[in-house]
Structure 1
């Protein structure tokens, strides 16, 4: 899967079925080359200008399913 395809998917939290946003960036382990975390933003570009912190940083182990249109995660909010 390409990163451009991953960015198009909405991230949904399994706990409350809320849309967290879309994948904005990835964090890799330098040694293994594996994805450690996905960084999700809600898509509000104006908020990003005033706040450099992403909306959610989700560990890869919390991803339950990557489907054709959505990514389902299980995080406590």
Structure 2
């Protein structure tokens, strides 16, 4: 699977059943070459024009399953941090 394939999938949190958006990038460890997380855009803000807040990263170990159309992640609401 290529990174561009991940960008076309919707990320859904199985703890809250809410959609988090589509990945815009990935993080990886340059020494090992392993993926460490998915980067998602922050929440939309209204500031004259629509713009996004800070991006946030979902750690790779929180990904439960990657399907044809969606990526399921497990992030309990109490762990979710606002940027």
The bucket for the TM-score relative to the shorter chain is: 0.7 to 0.9
Q: Post-superposition, which runs of at least 4 consecutive aligned residues in structure 1 deviate over 6 A?
A: none
Report the count of equivalent residues: 73
- Structure of larger gyration radius: 2
- Please, what is the CA RMSD of the aligned residues? 1.9
What secondary structure sits across from 2:23 in the alignment? strand
Q: Which runs of 5+ in 1 are unaligned?
A: none
* Higher fraction of helix: 1
Report the TM-score when normalising by structure 1. 0.83
Q: TM-score, normalised by structure 2?
A: 0.78
| Contact 1:22/1:42 (8 A) holds in 2 | no
1:21-40 paired onto structure 2 within 5 Å: 21-40=21-40
